Amino acid sequence: MKDLTTELSADEWDEAKFPRAEVQEFDRVVERAISRRGFLGGTLAFGSGAAVMGTAFLKATTAHAAQDSRFAFQQLAPQTDGTVHVPEGYSWKTLVRWGDPLFSDAPEFDRTTGHPAQGSDRVFGENTDGMELFNRRGVELLVVNSEYPNPKVNLTESVAALEERNRVIMEQYNERRTAAEAAGTELPPEPELEDQIVSSADDVLLLQQIQGVSVMEVVEGEEGWSVIVDSPYNRRIHHNTPMVLDGPAAGHDLLKTAANATGTRSLGTFNNCGSGRTPWGTYLTCEENFNGYFGTSSEVATDDTVMAGYQRYGISTDIEPGRYNYHGYDARFDISRNPNEPHRAGYIIEIDPWEPESTPVKHTALGRFKHENAAYALTPAGRVVVYMGDDERGEFMYKWVSRDVYVPGGDTSTLLSEGQLHVARFDDDMTGEWVALTPEATGMDAARIAIFTRMAGSAVGATTMDRPEWIAVNPTAVEGYCCLTNNSRRGTLAEDGSVRTNAGGDPMVVNAVNPRETNRYGQIVRWRPHDDDHGATTFDWDLYVMAGNPTVHQNGLYAGTANINAGNMFNSPDGMQIDTTGLIWIQTDGDDDNEGEFAGMGNNQMLAGDPVTGEIRRFLTGPKGSEVTGLTWSADRRTMFVGIQHPGAPFPDGEGALPRSAVITVKRNDGGLVG
């Protein structure tokens, strides 16, 4: 389909996209959505003249330089090199990298080849993501997710063996070709080169053990922060760690497997993306793209319910090794032999960091989907609310409300297992509803709602979103924020001319909360629950920011909202935390080629946003190729811990070394507060 948005002016685009009568209503809706008139009382709108009349409000202007800026730093310019940058007056340092020892018996890390499979459960994991810091009587524990592996970097021996096999294939081909040329006969066909890196049970074991969760004690000394190797709290949780299942799906037939005939236990946690915490001091890890670890060695023949689940959750039934090829060496991941195994993944898992021997609990009541993170709030009555996003194009946002109230020091065992899961519907009139996923509303029983939550959301008409990533709750106001990172298919047409859908067939039409067709930049939605109660089922919403590129698109939706300017551009907001002062820290996972639609944005980055003035400033940039994801603070709020995932450059060890995902610390040089 012709991309109208890049070839027409905003007005022309409007006219072509929507008949005039409709565009006026649509304009009003989007204007209200991004002007925050309702939330700010019109006192401090975005840039000068913003939020007025027709589409003019969409014209990006120089950022409103708030007189009373709350930022304690000058904006950092975009960067394109292979290292981390922070503003003047701040410093950063590497705390821990993939392969660093948590225990003194860990294998040594070689800077060019990595580490072996044996002992790979004794080191800090790969591809750092969500993290939380816990403090008890001066002991600080940093708990960090390791989301996914990078076989090209993690399995250097297998990569070398693959390259050698391909070298031999090419050598033999060249010999045949030379001979054919000499003889004047038909040239041989070009050979197909191999691309399968994962090629042994040891390879699979190594990958399984460098993902999951790392728990480690950290301490600040004269040289900065360090991990206390061999602390009794240190722990690695990975793809084979025993877990308990609780909630409505526990014990259900769909969870029974060869490894656990009762359906009440599970092995491992997968694709641990964002994080969360509970008011009672436990860690929540969130299973996102769990589907990618399962595969099949033969034709899959199972019942329609299970097959429909595979289809909705993206579990491949193609007979192929896939990227990780677990099923080639570990039958648990072969769905032709263990069709229910994928049903034990896709949950929120609670880990008690203070009890290294404790068994993590998979809370099925909070639903099964591609969980990004888990952000809690308390209702005025003391019920526990957990907001969650399902990061896939056109999937939904969810909210859990506990049945019982949280009492400090009291019993917390039911708070994530007894209650009600809801899914979000965002209406174009700037209100929305959390729709309860009950058997009556969905036509599904409680266990199936927990296992096939996406289908339950579809059944009640949830709003298809532009890939919900992290959700953050503002501790200084009763409101929540969600990064909607991008959606290249929003509003686009399938081959038959119909609007594209999510995997469940729900159309991804353009709507007020996802207002851009082919959304390449992303936006952050904010909602305020009615009655200042996170337990309320209704809310008002607006867009805190629509990212965009005002230097490429002088106006129109792709220029972004007026709090985006040539100086602070970014795309694909993803990680997000709100600090104790109410500033929003936004991390990006987007296109960092710095060209075309993304010119001037530089590498992925972390920005700070003021929810009151709308102002956004760039604070940190990651190395080329990396994603900046995961953020938490030391107990004294004088150190930020920031995650640098999958650096494309040899970060942080320098020339000739393997790139290593790392957690860094960031401090103010004067020792001041950073959140």
By beta-carbon proximity to ligand FEO, the closer residue of 603 and 639 is 603
Residue in 273, 335, 374, 447 binding ligand FEO, rule: CB under 6 A? 273
Q: Which residue is nearest to Ca ion (CB)?
A: 589
Cβ nearer to ligand FEO, comparing 273 with 508 = 273
3-state DSSP assignment of residue 293: helix
Distance of closest approach, residue 645 Cβ to ligand FEO, in angstroms: 9
Minimum Å gap between C-beta 504 and ligand FEO is 18
Q: Look at residue 506 and give the partner it binds from Ca ion, ligand FEO, none, a contact being a CB closer than 5 to 8 Å depending on partner kind.
A: none
Residue 448 structure tokens: 């199936």
Give the count of beta carbons closer than 10 Å to the beta carbon of residue 137.
4
Instruction: Give the C-alpha separation, 514 to 444, whole Å.
Output: 28
For ligand FEO, the closer CB: 372 or 517: 372
Give 121 or 469: the residue with its C-beta nearer to Ca ion: 469
Element (H, E) at 265: strand 265-267
286 binds, among ligand FEO, Ca ion, none (CB under 5 to 8 A by kind): none
The option from ligand FEO, Ca ion, none interacting with 147 (CB < 5 to 8 A, set by class) reads ligand FEO
Structure tokens at 339: 């069709």
Closest CB to Ca ion among residues 419, 575: 575
- What's the closest the beta carbon of residue 516 comes to Ca ion, in angstroms? 17
Site string for ligand FEO, 142-181 (x = CB under 6 A): -----x----------------------------------
Site for ligand FEO in 387-416 (CB under 6 A): 391
Query: In this complex, which beta carbon is closest to ligand FEO, that of residue 145 or of residue 379?
Result: 145
- Cβ proximity of 625 and 640 under 8 Å: no
Nearer to ligand FEO, 339 or 522 (CB): 522
Buried/exposed code over 21-41 (b: 16+ C-beta within 10 A; e: otherwise): eebeebbebbbbbbbbbebbe
Q: Contact, 169 vs 148, CB < 8 A?
A: no
Radius of gyration of the chain from its Cα atoms, rounded to whole angstroms: 25
Say whether the peptide bond before residue 652 is cis (omega within 30 degrees of 0). yes
Quick note: the x/- pattern for ligand FEO over 355-384, rule CB under 6 A, is -----------------x------------
What is the three-class DSSP state of 176?
helix
Backbone φ and ψ of 82, nearest 5°: -100, 20
- Minimal distance, residue 613 CB to Ca ion, in Å: 26
Quote the distance between the C-alpha of residue 188 and its chain's center: 46
The phi-psi region of residue 18 (left if phi > 0; otherwise alpha if psi is between -120 and 50; otherwise beta) is beta
The least CB distance from residue 303 to ligand FEO, in Å, is 30
Site residues, Ca ion (CB under 5 A): 469, 574, 589
| Least distance (Å) between residue 95 CB and ligand FEO | 21
Distance in Å, CB of 238 to ligand FEO, minimum: 17
State the minimum distance, in angstroms, from the CB of residue 572 to ligand FEO. 10
Query: Is there binding between residue 288 and ligand FEO (CB under 6 A)?
Result: yes
Closest to ligand FEO by CB, 369 vs 544, is: 369
**126 binds ligand FEO, rule: CB under 6 A:** no
Burial of 301 (0-12, 13-18, 19+ CB in 10 A): exposed
Tell me whether residue 350 or residue 574 sits nearer to Ca ion (CB atom).
574
**Selection from 372, 431, 426, 378 nearest residue 400 by Cα:** 378
When the beta carbons of 63 and 273 are compared against ligand FEO, the nearer one is: 273
CB of 273 to ligand FEO, least distance (A): 3
HSE toward the beta carbon, residue 135, CA cutoff 13 A: 8
Q: State the minimum distance, in angstroms, from the CB of residue 271 to ligand FEO.
A: 7
DSSP 638: S
Residue type, 399: K
Distance CA 89, CA 580 (A): 21
Q: Which does 288 bind (CB under 5 to 8 A by kind): Ca ion, ligand FEO, none?
A: ligand FEO
Binding flags for ligand FEO, 591-630, as an x/- string (CB under 6 A): ----------------------------------------
Binding site partner of 14, from ligand FEO, Ca ion, none, Cβ cut-off 5-8 A by kind: none
Q: How far is the CB of 402 from ligand FEO (least distance, A)?
A: 25
Pick what 390 binds: Ca ion, ligand FEO, none; C-beta below 5 to 8 Å, kind-dependent. Answer: none
Given ligand FEO, Ca ion, none, residue 352, with its beta carbon under 5 to 8 Å by kind, binds none
Pick from 80, 78, 31: nearest CA to 54: 31
Overall residue count recorded for the chain in this entry: 675
Backbone angles phi, psi at 413, to 5 degrees: -70, -20
Q: Minimum distance from CB of 575 to Ca ion (Å)?
A: 6
* DSSP string covering 14-57: HHHHS-HHHHHHHHHHHHHHHH-HHHHTTSS-SSTT-S-STTGG
Given a contact cutoff of 8 angstroms between Cβ atoms, the answer to whether 547 and 535 are in contact is no
Q: How far is CA 273 from CA 130, 380, 389, 560, 645, in A?
A: 6, 30, 11, 27, 11
Angle at 460 between CA 459 and CA 465, to 5 degrees: 95
The listed partner (ligand FEO, Ca ion, none) that binds 217, CB under 5 to 8 Å by sort, is: none
Question: CB-based contacts of 661: which residues, under 8 Å, 6+ apart?
Answer: 97, 98, 126, 127, 128, 146, 643, 644, 645, 646, 647
Question: What are φ and ψ of residue 172, in 5° steps?
Answer: -65, -40
Q: How far is the CB of 643 from ligand FEO (least distance, A)?
A: 11
d(CA 31, CA 50): 9
Q: Binders of ligand FEO: how many residues, by CB under 6 A?
A: 6
Measured from the CB atom, is 371 or 383 closer to ligand FEO?
Answer: 371
Nearer to ligand FEO, 270 or 434 (CB): 270
Q: Which does 579 bind (CB under 5 to 8 A by kind): ligand FEO, Ca ion, none?
A: none
- Provide the minimum distance between the beta carbon of 607 and Ca ion in the complex, in angstroms, as a whole number: 15
List 31, 390, 469, 542, residue binding ligand FEO (CB under 6 A): 469
| Residue with Cβ nearer ligand FEO (393 or 668) | 393
Report which residue type is found at 165. Answer: R
Q: Which is nearer to ligand FEO, 234 or 645 (CB)?
A: 645
- How far apart CA 506 and CA 455 sit, in angstroms, is 10
Residues at the contact surface with ligand FEO, assessed by CB under 6 A: 147, 273, 288, 372, 391, 469
